Chain A
Amino acid sequence: MVAAKTLRRLSYGLVFCLLVSVTPLPGQDTWYAAYERALENISVGRWEEAVADLERAVSLKPDPELNARTYGVWRRNYLPYYQLGLAHYNLGNYETASDYFNRSLAAGEIKNSPETLQLLRGYQKAIAEKMGTSQRELEEKIATEMEKGLELEREGNFQEALAKFEAVLTLDPEHKEAAEHLEIIKKEQEKQDNLARQKQAVDMTLAQGISHLEAGDLAEALACFEEVLKLEPTQPKALTLRKQVKDRLDRLAKEENLKQQRINELLREGIQLFESELWDEALIRFDQVLRIDPTNSEALKYRKNIAALIDEIQRRK
């Protein structure tokens, strides 16, 4: 019995394994597997294979990261653009290598790894030398890169501009103008990020307010619109909707007030009639109250009392 059961279970497992094995799909890699393969290829000078593996890693994880978690307890520094630059440098593709080194600098993570950063600077200088760049040519290159950077900055393409200014600073770490513009762009990017976050918060809160409004939850809707106007005091849609909600709330308050007045009036009349022992007339008043407010405790109490009195009178008869 046990053997049969075990065999049955094993057969299920094997069928399952077979099913998943006969339809292999591409893309089994993880970023760290591709990256580690690339590093192994780099260590033995297989540059082209390393480039392929690094491109695979970048497609799975584009952002460089120091001390990135791989699996288990293991971590590693993930600097694929630097490694791509290195591989292309060794393949003699100096311009491509330079682009990857600049991209690595633009991504920023490499700056937290001083040793690697120093190596990168060294390769950049070597590239400049290998490309036969003289001092004048170097200055011209710096000027060209600077000009491109300024143009990109004017166009609002801050990411590309940042890479250009980084490139200038790589060629001339003392270049003040590039450093200033780098700082300006970073501040501008920060400002834009804040604005984007604020806009996102405004849009989300506004949408919540509209949703509350559609559901008839006026108080919640009002709170949302107030919140939006705190973030952006001139937000036109929030201003319009807040006014609409306030008007509706005022109208409702007035209606409620009138209703309450009518209830008070009917209760007063009903109580007077009750005290005058005009039960039927009093009953009519209290029923009118309950039609307006079915939970009115005063009306319910009197109605109950009248019913009891009528019942008692009928019993005495």
Chain B
Amino acid sequence: MQTNPAHIKGHPNPVLLLKALIISGLLVISGHIELQAQSFWRKSDRNTFIRNIQFNFNIPSARAVGLGGAFVAIADDATAGMANPAGLTILTKPEISVHYKLNRFSHTENAGTEDDHNLRKHFHNDIVSQSYLSLVYPYGKFSFSVYRQELINFESSHEAAGFGSIFDSPDLDPADFEPGSKTGSDIQVNNWGAAFAFKHTRYLSVGVSTMVSTLEFSFFEHLFQRSSQTNRPVRIFSVTSSSKDTRYSINIGVKSEPTDFLSVGAVYRSGPKFNICNTIEDVDDSGGRTNIYQADQDLVFKVPDVYSFGAALSLKDNLTLSLDAVRVEYSDLIKDLDRNLNADDQATYSAEFPFTRFVDSDGIEDLVLKDRTEIHFGCEYYLMFGEWQLPLRAGFYTDPSHVVHTTVEDEALKRIFPRGKNEVHGTFGFGFVLKNKIQLDAAVNFSRSVSEVLLSAVFRF
């Protein structure tokens, strides 16, 4: 992570500069991502800023979500391009699929005040979006697919009155910083993929999918304090970003059906590595004039790589059980970032904004984020009514905590970078098949922090 001085207006204010440096040093490094769940970008060991991002690592169809996301060994519909490209060879007719998602993500921020350091404020954000769109065209033992997958579609905005609770500097009076912070983000990562699959034998298929990943990153966080002259809140500090980037990533899958009732699959999915740029602004209106200090900050945003292994068992003609193990390399997120907090660093001063740099004194990483393995399980049962069928699905998956957390023994920092909690998601779904041409599915996915409703439609030609 680098901080590049851009332009400076006026004179530095040491207190605010210190704050700016803290924020610039940690703004993005504390990013954490849950598999299909939340990610927090928290920054500053003196202020609480929570940035939440949801990654949609789950297979984006209602059918797959209804199955608890255990779909690697099944992958037998138009979402296979992303789920497991090798599964595309199963299709015998062209298919178009479209998927929509309503997502509610809840999160909590430390919004402490001078009187109550542990005050927390709960927020939630709702997003409705088209999460996946695909076309599959099978041709003999080959199959081709193009698709658009929404990997991240995250919008949030919240205001936390009072963030002074964790100020531990005697120079700073928490009461001065009311009404606190205002944060907003709009982050979108889309994968535009082209998949190719080949059926090598009756029992084995391989597939590869190349993706162009686009990032649109819009973010702001403003800090306010009450002006002693006008008694109105005035902006004292901002971090803003409006970045775009395009990268390539790849998805490789293998699927085998050794018998009519058993299938196994494996997938490796690389995550794109984006560059983003933040602009840090420090506003100082002391001395009768307003001075604004600015600096740009280049950061790396690496989407974790994912490995999945799965097995599916078809019992009789109308019952399928599926089990996946998914390894998510969350550590990718912070690998290229500064993982040290300023709390135990040595401050060095320079003539250029942001004037202060922090040098790690102990060589120990203060922020850690470990890779995690998730277990997904699901079952699908077909109720038959003559020629009509009603698929019912249920499943669950484990969602181990993967929050960037601190190893520094400091109560204030522990409040900002807690260890997080493990979650278990429950999923249910059902579908309709109309005239063997149209498939409509719905599913819900719920956990402590996430509620999702998915709707899918597949058209078969």
Identify B92's interface contact among A6, A9, A25, A70, CB under 8 A: A70
Q: Are B335 and A2 in contact (CB under 8 A)?
A: yes
Q: Are B92 and A10 in contact (CB under 8 A)?
A: no
Identify B202's interface contact among A27, A68, A70, A73, CB under 8 A: A27
**With contact pairs A28-B202, A67-B387 given, residues A73 and B92 touching in the complex (Cβ less than 8 Å):** no
- B192 contacts A by Cβ under 8 Å: no
- A32 contacts B by Cβ under 8 Å: yes
Q: Are B91 and A71 in contact (CB under 8 A)?
A: yes
Q: How long is the Cα–Cα vector from A1 to B433 in the complex, in angstroms?
A: 48
**With contact pairs A28-B200, A72-B76 given, residues A67 and B384 touching in the complex (Cβ less than 8 Å):** yes
Identify B250's interface contact among A10, A21, A36, A74, CB under 8 A: A10
Q: Are B431 and A29 in contact (CB under 8 A)?
A: no
Q: How long is the Cα–Cα vector from A21 to B206 in the complex, in angstroms?
A: 9
Chain A residues positioned under 8 Å from B198 (CB to CB): 21
Q: Are A2 and B332 in contact (CB under 8 A)?
A: yes
Q: Are B305 and A73 in contact (CB under 8 A)?
A: no
Q: Are B202 and A32 in contact (CB under 8 A)?
A: no
Q: Are A29 and B302 in contact (CB under 8 A)?
A: no
Q: Are A2 and B439 in contact (CB under 8 A)?
A: no
Chain B residues positioned under 8 Å from A119 (CB to CB): none
Identify A20's interface contact among B92, B204, B332, B336, CB under 8 A: B204
- B357 contacts A by Cβ under 8 Å: no
Chain B residues positioned under 8 Å from A68 (CB to CB): 317
Residue of B nearest to A22 (CB): B200
**With contact pairs A2-B273, A16-B254, A36-B92 given, residues A69 and B317 touching in the complex (Cβ less than 8 Å):** yes
- Nearest CB in chain A: distance from B460 CB, A: 7
- Nearest CB in chain B: distance from A204 CB, A: 23
Within 8 A of B (CB), among A1-58: 1-2, 6, 9-10, 13, 16-17, 20-21, 24-25, 27-30, 32-33, 36
Chain A residues positioned under 8 Å from B384 (CB to CB): 67
Within 8 A of B (CB), among A280-317: none
Q: Are A27 and B201 in contact (CB under 8 A)?
A: yes
Q: Are A74 and B460 in contact (CB under 8 A)?
A: yes
- B400 contacts A by Cβ under 8 Å: no
- Nearest CB in chain B: distance from A72 CB, A: 5
Chain A residues positioned under 8 Å from B158 (CB to CB): none
Q: Number of contacting residues on A, CB 8 A?
A: 29
- A230 contacts B by Cβ under 8 Å: no
Within 8 A of A (CB), among B62-107: 63, 76-77, 90-93
Identify A24's interface contact among B200, B382, B433, B458, CB under 8 A: B200
- A76 contacts B by Cβ under 8 Å: yes
Q: Are A72 and B201 in contact (CB under 8 A)?
A: no
A-B pair number, CB within 8 angstroms: 81
Chain A residues positioned under 8 Å from B63 (CB to CB): 73
- B184 contacts A by Cβ under 8 Å: no
- Nearest CB in chain A: distance from B232 CB, A: 47
Q: How long is the Cα–Cα vector from A75 to B387 in the complex, in angstroms?
A: 9
- B270 contacts A by Cβ under 8 Å: yes
- Nearest CB in chain B: distance from A3 CB, A: 8
Q: Number of contacting residues on B, CB 8 A?
A: 40
Q: Are B200 and A25 in contact (CB under 8 A)?
A: yes
Within 8 A of A (CB), among B380-439: 382, 384, 387, 389, 391, 431, 433, 436, 439
**With contact pairs A2-B336, A13-B252, A30-B202 given, residues A73 and B317 touching in the complex (Cβ less than 8 Å):** no
Q: How long is the Cα–Cα vector from A69 to B382 in the complex, in angstroms?
A: 10
Chain A residues positioned under 8 Å from B270 (CB to CB): 6, 9-10
Chain A residues positioned under 8 Å from B201 (CB to CB): 24-25, 27-28
Q: Are B250 and A72 in contact (CB under 8 A)?
A: no
Chain B residues positioned under 8 Å from A16 (CB to CB): 206, 254
Within 8 A of A (CB), among B272-328: 273, 302, 305, 317-318
Q: Are B302 and A2 in contact (CB under 8 A)?
A: yes
- B141 contacts A by Cβ under 8 Å: yes
Q: How long is the Cα–Cα vector from A67 to B386 in the complex, in angstroms?
A: 9
Chain A residues positioned under 8 Å from B433 (CB to CB): 73-75
- Nearest CB in chain B: distance from A10 CB, A: 6
- B32 contacts A by Cβ under 8 Å: no
Q: How long is the Cα–Cα vector from A25 to B141 in the complex, in angstroms?
A: 12
**With contact pairs A2-B273, A71-B90, A73-B389 given, residues A13 and B268 touching in the complex (Cβ less than 8 Å):** yes
Chain B residues positioned under 8 Å from A30 (CB to CB): 90, 92, 202
- Nearest CB in chain A: distance from B264 CB, A: 15
Identify A73's interface contact among B335, B387, B439, CB under 8 A: B439
Chain B residues positioned under 8 Å from A71 (CB to CB): 76, 90-92
The digit string for B194-215, where 1 denotes a CB below 8 A from any CB of A, is 0000111110101010000000
Q: Are B436 and A74 in contact (CB under 8 A)?
A: yes
Chain B residues positioned under 8 Å from A24 (CB to CB): 200-201
Chain B residues positioned under 8 Å from A2 (CB to CB): 273, 302, 332, 335-336
Q: Are A28 and B268 in contact (CB under 8 A)?
A: no
Residue of A nearest to B253 (CB): A13
Chain A residues positioned under 8 Å from B92 (CB to CB): 30, 32-33, 36, 70-71
Q: Are B90 and A9 in contact (CB under 8 A)?
A: no
Q: Are B268 and A9 in contact (CB under 8 A)?
A: yes
Residue of A nearest to B78 (CB): A72
20 contacts between A and B (CB under 8 A): A2-B273, A6-B305, A9-B305, A13-B208, A13-B252, A17-B252, A20-B200, A24-B200, A24-B201, A25-B200, A30-B92, A36-B93, A67-B387, A67-B389, A68-B317, A71-B90, A72-B77, A72-B458, A73-B433, A74-B436
7 extra interface residue pairs, beta carbon distance < 8 Å, beyond A20-B204, A28-B141: A2-B273, A2-B335, A17-B208, A24-B201, A72-B77, A72-B90, A74-B436
Closest 10 CB pairs of A and B: A13-B252, A25-B201, A72-B76, A71-B76, A71-B90, A72-B77, A28-B141, A28-B199, A27-B202, A33-B92
